[in-house]
A and B are shown apart, each in its own frame.
Chain A
């Protein structure tokens, strides 16, 4: 794998870990690694929610700094060429599409629950601050994960 592919793979692992962290902080269900993770949104104090949000941001920033500045610093010496920029643009398009699809899935889910009163479907509670935070951060991270996967696939195919 090229240094660029290594960087993308490392970032993919970072986004996956961050998604797991957020779901562990904001949901309840099965216990994994001493943390509860599931489909029930856990309401929390504003301070605790802010801590989760700030911690996620700090983890993302430090993770990216380590990946870019320490592990793959050689990449800086070789600026991206046209094929790499082409792959980045294509991956951005795919990630945008994934973001749109994810938002529509959330809308569809909310409408399904509201119209048909489907109590057997896990309901996202948009009157809950934790629920809103969970959905928005999940959409953002799903976009980043799709961008990373698309980039790796495009490096193989293009």
Chain B
């Protein structure tokens, strides 16, 4: 079985801006630092499952409305 390369993409920045929240507001809501939220928005850092679910709940969305897995260079 070959290993599949992919990337986790997210809509956190769009959803946060839609709600008029600052990065600090979101960070406080999910128990992370502002720098971590920034790194996740820039897709430099993939959050743990726990943090990903906390983010999803903060936006009151389904998991796949916030995060998606993109194969290869997609």
Residues of chain A touching chain B, judged by Cβ–Cβ distance below 8 Å, are: 2, 78, 81-84, 86, 155, 157-158
Contact = CB atoms under 8 A, between A and B. Distances in A.
A101 B48 CA distance: 32
B15 interface: no
Interface of B: 31-33, 35-36, 39, 44-45, 47-48, 50-51
B33 A158 contact: no
Contacts of B51: 82
Contacts of A84: 33, 36
Interface centre among A2, A81, A84 (most CB of B within 10 A): A81
Contacts, number: 28
Where chain A touches its partner, the secondary structure class is: helix
Given A83-B32, A83-B36, 11 more contacts: A81-B31, A81-B32, A81-B33, A82-B32, A82-B36, A82-B47, A82-B50, A83-B39, A83-B47, A84-B36, A158-B39
Contacts of B48: 82
B45 to A, nearest CB: 5
18 contacts: A2-B33, A2-B35, A81-B32, A81-B33, A81-B36, A82-B32, A82-B36, A82-B48, A82-B51, A83-B32, A83-B33, A83-B35, A83-B36, A83-B45, A83-B47, A84-B36, A86-B45, A158-B45
A86 B36 CA distance: 11
A45 B5 CA distance: 60
Which of B33, B44, B45: most chain A Cβ within 10 A? B33
A81 B32 CA distance: 6
Contacts of B33: 2, 78, 81, 83-84
The 6 nearest A-B residue pairs measured at CB: A83-B36, A81-B32, A81-B33, A158-B45, A81-B36, A2-B35
A78 B35 CA distance: 12
A82 B35 CA distance: 11
